[in-house]
Amino acid sequence: MNFGLSRVLVTGGAGFIGSHLVDTLVAEGCDVVVLDNLSSGSLSNLKHVKDKITFYKGDIQDQKILMEAAKNCEVIFHQAAMVSVTKTVDNPVDSAFINDMGTLFVLDAGRKNKVKRVVLASSSAVYGDDPLLPKHENMPLKPMSPYAVQKLTGELNARIYHDLYGLETVCLRYFNVYGPRQDPSSPYSGVISIFMTKAVSKKPPVIYGDGKQYRDFVFVKDVVKANLLAATEDDAAGQIFNIGTGKHVSINNLWDMISLFSGLKIEPEYIPSRPGDIIESVASIEQAKSALGFEPDYLFEKGLEITFKWYKDSRK
Ligand code: UD1
């Protein structure tokens, strides 16, 4: 793939998804600027590219540093956020400063610096628990947490900046992203990161409910690919796309597959469902296919195998 981008800014570039994006942009020969306050990201995610990027340790709420970082950039990939839904529930106001105002500052830095396009990380959380499946971009939205409201606000502001100021914006609604570097440390971390840690330490996982609930798990490298397409496809400007695989895997099935990699058959511990847990979630990716030419490259087995190897190696 040759995307031909020159200078780009990745906010949250030291985080799980952001750092994979940085890897690919560096490999593509882009001049990459990263802005990250290291609140949830880590420099260790960037150690292999540290000499090839310009790194600013700073917050997206600091307009001065943001303006500096965005200078002469062609595209901004906005990945920085308070990413824990639970933390936004505990801190609805503080998280709004980061996720709402921070996103507005990023859009405004894009406008003032005459950046061509801003690609924003949104979330399938905006759909809430509407039972309609697969989730498609035009269905009614039902955000059920401050996090989901903040992501939706970002989408609305992106549209305003596109319509009023001519800034090209593209919003990507990520489904359940997994892969190397995902932090497993909280009970609210992504289920794959938690299960991987259990498998490599040969411990039983906890499954909430009967384990028949399912998700659309998308490998982080496919999310990176979607970002690059969103940054460069002419037709994408002003639009919103689901980024998933269009396929789903149950939590029981997930543990069975991970168990195969570990070579052990460990019975999970079943406990009652999480309050408010969504039973079924799967994306329609038709719009991303037709407007972006997006097609996931990683079969679930493949992405899971790469991820398992990473958790195994990082335990050593
Ligand atoms: C995601 C968010 C969550 C948010 C929800 C609504 C992440 C990591 N989680 O949850 O905070 O409220 O979207 O938009 O982004 N599970 C287990 N055992 C575990 C962990 C999870 O059985 O140890 C189950 C959960 O009950 C759930 C499924 O695995 O049914 C997936 O969980 P999770 O990875 O947290 O993702 P979401 O539920 O989609």
**Would the CB of 213 count as within 6 Å of ligand 1?**
yes
67 pocket-lining for ligand 1 (C-beta < 6 Å): no
Using the atom order of ligand 1, give the atom closest to the CA of residue 213.
30
pLDDT per residue over 31-54, tens digit each?
A: 999 999 999 999 999 999 999 999
Closest to 261 (Cα-Cα) out of 196, 214, 216, 314: 196
pLDDT tens-digit series, residues 54-92? 999 999 999 999 999 999 999 999 999 999 898 999 999
Residue with tokens 């997006």: 294
What is the per-residue pLDDT for 149?
97
- Band of the pLDDT at 315, cuts 50, 70, 90? confident
**Domain chopping of the chain, boundaries:** 7-178+218-246+282-297
Q: Does the Cβ of 121 fall within 6 Å of ligand 1?
A: no
Q: Which whole number is the average pLDDT over 126-139?
A: 96
The Cα 160–Cα 146 span in angstroms is 21
Give the mean model confidence (pLDDT) for residues 267-288.
Answer: 94
CB contact at 8 A, 175 and 124: yes
Strand partners, 54: 33
Mutate to test the pocket of ligand 1, among 191, 212, 266, 278 (most ligand atoms within 8 A of CB): 191
Nearest residue (by CA) to ligand 1, atom 21, is 191
Expressed in angstroms and rounded, the spacing between residue 32 Cα and the centre of ligand 1 is 32
- CA 216 to chain centroid, in Å, comes to 13
The tens digit of pLDDT for each residue in 158-192 reads 999 999 999 999 999 999 999 999 999 877 799 99
Q: How many CB atoms lie within 10 A of CB 112?
A: 15
From the list 229, 174, 256, the residue with the least C-alpha distance to 1 is 229
| CB count in 10 Å sphere of residue 189 | 15
Q: Which CATH superfamily is domain 7-178+218-246+282-297 in?
A: NAD(P)-binding Rossmann-like Domain (3.40.50.720)
> What confidence score (pLDDT) does residue 291 get?
97
Mean pLDDT value across the chain: 96
Task: Give the confidence band of 286 by pLDDT, cuts at 50, 70, 90.
Answer: very high
pLDDT value, residue 1 = 53
- What pLDDT is attached to residue 253? 98
**Centroid of ligand 1 to alpha carbon of 213 (angstroms):** 10
Atom of ligand 1 nearest to the CA of 208: 22
What pLDDT shows up at residue 275? 83
pTM of the full structure: 0.97
> What are the CA-CA distances from residue 43 to residues 35, 231, 262 (Å)?
11, 25, 29
pLDDT at 75: 98
Task: For residue 53, report the distance from its CA to the centre of ligand 1, in Å.
Answer: 33
Ligand 1 centroid to Cα of residue 268, in Å, is: 16
SS3 category, 169? strand
Q: Is residue 2 over pLDDT 70? A: no
Q: What is the pLDDT of residues 214-257, one digit of tens each?
A: 999 999 999 999 999 999 999 899 999 999 999 999 999 999 99
